[in-house]
């Protein structure tokens, strides 16, 4: 019974995650507008960093990363444009619907991150405030709240 329940919950999480991804893709595809180049460049830099760090963690050598740098940069730029566009759309929805991140939600997420990183929450919060990462966390929470809101309002059709 426990295994069955665990499998059921994992399937539900996977389905919900797929719905969120599909919603994000549809939102981004539904609207066209010019993106601020400086914001796209900043996001591209972050995406390149993430791609390189992920590949290094998997044991990909520096030489291979250097060989693939143009491909990595092209993929990162494409991904960054999609992310920037989606974030603008989600922020606009948040403004219209008056969706905000509460102190309790931020605190709960910081506790979750501290547990993952096995570090005291106070130390993590201080470090994040010092390096400006706290605003990224707030944007991530807000984005998830908006996506959840839109999913609640949407009529989901099975395909």
pLDDT in tens, 88-140: 999 999 999 999 999 999 999 999 999 999 999 999 999 998 888 888 899 99
Cβ contact 78:43 at 8 Å = no
Cβ contact 106:138 at 8 Å = yes
Residue 31 pLDDT? 85
Q: Is the pLDDT of residue 159 over 90?
A: no
> Residue 28 — pLDDT band, cuts 50, 70, 90?
confident
Residue 27 CB contacts under 8 Å (≥ 6 apart), including other chains: 86, 89, 90, 150
Residue 32 pLDDT? 87
Outline where DSSP puts E strands in the chain. Answer: none
Q: Is the pLDDT of residue 157 over 80?
A: no
103 HSE (CA, 13 A, CB side) = 0
Residue 115 CB contacts under 8 Å (≥ 6 apart), including other chains: none
> Residue 1 — pLDDT band, cuts 50, 70, 90?
confident
pTM, two decimals, is 0.76
pLDDT in tens, 38-90: 999 999 998 998 888 898 888 988 899 889 999 999 999 999 999 999 999 99
């Amino acid at each position: 019974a426990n295994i069955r329940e665990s499998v059921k919950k994992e399937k539900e999480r996977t389905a919900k995650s797929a719905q969120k991804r599909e919603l994000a893709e549809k939102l981004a595809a539904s609207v066209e507008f010019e993106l601020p180049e400086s914001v796209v460049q900043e996001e591209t830099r972050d995406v390149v960093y993430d791609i390189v760090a992920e590949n290094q963690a998997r044991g990909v050598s520096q030489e291979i990363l250097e060989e693939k740098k143009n491909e990595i940069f092209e993929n990162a730029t494409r991904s960054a444009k999609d992310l920037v566009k989606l974030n603008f759309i989600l922020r606009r929805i948040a403004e219209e619907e008056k969706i905000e991140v509460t102190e309790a939600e931020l605190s709960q997420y910081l506790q979750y991150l501290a547990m993952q990183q096995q570090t005291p929450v106070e130390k993590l919060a201080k470090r994040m405030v010092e390096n400006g990462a706290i605003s990224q966390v707030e944007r991530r929470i807000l984005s998830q709240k908006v996506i959840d809101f839109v999913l609640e309002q949407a009529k989901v059709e099975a395909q």
